[in-house]
Amino acid sequence: MEALLRLPEFNLEEVQIGLRKLHEVSSYLNFPFTFEEVARYFLPSLKISGDQLRELLSSGKFKNFPFLIRDGYLFAHPTQSLDSRLVREKLSSEKLASAAEFAAVLTRSIPFIKTVAVTGSVAYGSAERWDDIDLFIVTARNRLWLSAIMILILVRIGKLLRIREPHLSPFCLSYVHDEQGFANESSKNRSNPLFARELIKAKPVTGIRQYCKMLKENDWVAKFYAARYVEKIRSLEREQSDFQTEADPPWTFGRLSVLFDLLEGMAFTFLSRYLRLRAYLINLKFKSNGQDFRIFEPKISSSSCIYTSNFYRWLYKLWVTGAV
């Protein structure tokens, strides 16, 4: 009864907008969400709990959204099932473990990597068997492209040697920056709730201390996800177990730094052209298969490499305006 007495205090229009987002995303992904997930990520500013949300939806005020409530989940469509979600959670867990193993190899092999996190469907626990494992990587300043070329070589070696099962090895460098590039990108997105959500939901698999530091430096995220931001910081602080020292490796100083700078420029020139060509060819395949949401635009500079998909643009429009 206490929860019910507090329900009228909630902004029902904001609930309506959040439920619209939920219905669109859940329907597209064919993935049911728990009440707690909806409260945290679709209605964060309301500070509503999962139990309160359940009471609110049971009040009949939102009958225009045809959700089926069962076993603590909101099902947006009759074809959705809890069994399917559990399978995808298991696949996501396996892919996350594969990413952690690969990230450990990267940090042992490439001294410039500061942090590696997993984003996208794997981070959200909704990955299907052949979904990419999207990697968010931050490197030392002016060492992005040297790192990227070595990462791609290691990815290729792993596939040739079949170190992992095929569905556990489709690593995608979808969001890669050097330290300055990430600082610039986060500064541009201070009013972007979707960017804030991605930072909160990303799962760092190496460089946890660095990821925690980056999140603290972007405390504006709390404007959108106050409670979850605090929880994330606390969780990362408990996991302080970096695989890499914070100091730059000694061979990046002195005369060798000039050589590395030269190699960085050469790597950028070669790899940026290769990635644009590869993106063009992959997008042609997506178009021919009618996979328009998977088509992406590579945004490449000397300090950043970002793949922005049509799906992300759709999500951005949904998150900012509440409609598509």
Confidence of residue 324 (pLDDT cuts 50, 70, 90): low
- Nearest to 116, CA basis, from 17, 252, 239, 211: 211
pLDDT of amino acid 45 = 86
Per-residue pLDDT at 257 exceeds 90? no
The two structure tokens encoding residue 229: 């931001």
Per-residue pLDDT at 3 exceeds 70? no
Say what the pTM is. Answer: 0.91
Question: For 95-137, what is each residue's pLDDT tens digit?
Answer: 999 999 999 999 999 999 999 999 999 999 999 999 999 999 9
- 3-class secondary structure, 234: helix
Question: For 206-232, what is each residue's pLDDT tens digit?
Answer: 999 999 999 999 999 999 999 999 999
Average pLDDT, the chain: 90
CA quadruple 135, 128, 311, 183: dihedral, nearest 10: -20
Per-residue pLDDT at 271 exceeds 90? yes
CA distance 13 to 29: 24
Domain 2-80, CATH: 1.10.10
Question: For 5-45, what is each residue's pLDDT tens digit?
Answer: 445 467 888 888 899 999 999 999 999 999 999 999 999 88
Q: What is the largest CA-CA distance in the chain?
A: 71
pLDDT of amino acid 23 = 92
Domain boundaries, the chain: 2-80, 85-321
Question: For 70-94, what is each residue's pLDDT tens digit?
Answer: 889 999 988 899 999 999 999 999 9
